[in-house]
Structure 1
Amino acid sequence: MKIVIANSSNQPIYEQITSQIKELIMKGELREAEPLPSIRNLAKELQISVITTKRAYDELEKEGFIVTVPGKGSYVAAENKELLHEKRIKVVEEKLVEAVTAAKSIQISLGQLQEMLSLLYEEE
């Protein structure tokens, strides 16, 4: 699992960790029941406080992304596939809102934006 901490970011370190782990789960790079590094190992690897890592794991558990089994560690939570799909759709919608806002700010018409989207979609 590759997590990068940006010291220059305004986002707290625990939020950087949680957002990156969520993204890995939503992309399917971390799968259901897959073990996560221990809190201590992740803290050591990232050279951060164990308290910060624990806070990140607590947030992920509260949001239902991971489960922690006392004495065994933390694992990617078994998630309803429909719920995971909805979360992925939400990410796409957020990015589309950003694209629409940017397009409107430079007067790109809806037709032009749809044409751009079609071209990009068919490239993949």
Structure 2
Amino acid sequence: MKILISNQSELPIYSQIKEQIKEQILNGNIEEGTILPSIRKLAKEIGVSVITTTRAYNELEKEGFIASMQGKGSVVLSKDNKILKEQYLIRIEEGLENAIQTAKKIGMDYVELEELANKIWKGME
């Protein structure tokens, strides 16, 4: 797991940590069932306070990405998790909105877009 902290970022450090872990989970770089580094270990690795990493992990847990397990630490939840699935749906909607806006800009109609989507879908099978 790679976390890069930027002092120039507008986001607070805990939020940078949370967003980077969330992104790695959504991209599949951190797989479900993975046990994350302990709060203390992560804090030491990236040079921040334990309070900062605790807040990031608490936010991730509240958003449904991880669960704290007594004696084991924090584990990445399954993609079948309703909250995590909702995050994927949001990404899909955003991607589709961008694709539709781009298609309209070049004069592509719905049927052409649907055909392109089917071609891409079948090419990924």
TM range (shorter): 0.7 to 0.9
8 A contact 2:36–2:75 mirrored in 1: yes
Specify the alignment match of 2:45 in structure 1. 45
Structure 1: where are the runs of 5+ without partners? Answer: none
Deviation string 1:1-28 (CA, Å, 9 cap, x unpaired) is: 0111111000111111111111111111
Distance 1:109 1:64, change over 3 A: same
Distance 1:4 1:100, change over 3 A: farther
Structure 2: where are the runs of 5+ without partners? Answer: none
Specify the alignment match of 1:20 in structure 2. 20
Q: How does 1:31-70 map to 2 (within 5 A)?
A: 31-70=31-70
Q: State the secondary structure of the residue aligned to 2:75.
A: strand
Q: State the secondary structure of the residue aligned to 1:94.
A: helix
How many angstroms does 1:70 deviate by?
A: 2.3
RMSD: 3.1
Identical counterparts, % of pairs:
49
TM-score normalized with structure 1 length: 0.73
Deviation string 1:41-98 (CA, Å, 9 cap, x unpaired) is: 1001110111000000000011111011123211111341676454224224335656
TM-score normalized with structure 2 length: 0.72
- Matched residue pairs, number? 117
- Flag as ranges the 4+ runs of structure 1 deviating above 2 A: 81-89, 92-101, 108-111
Distance 1:26 1:38, change over 3 A: same
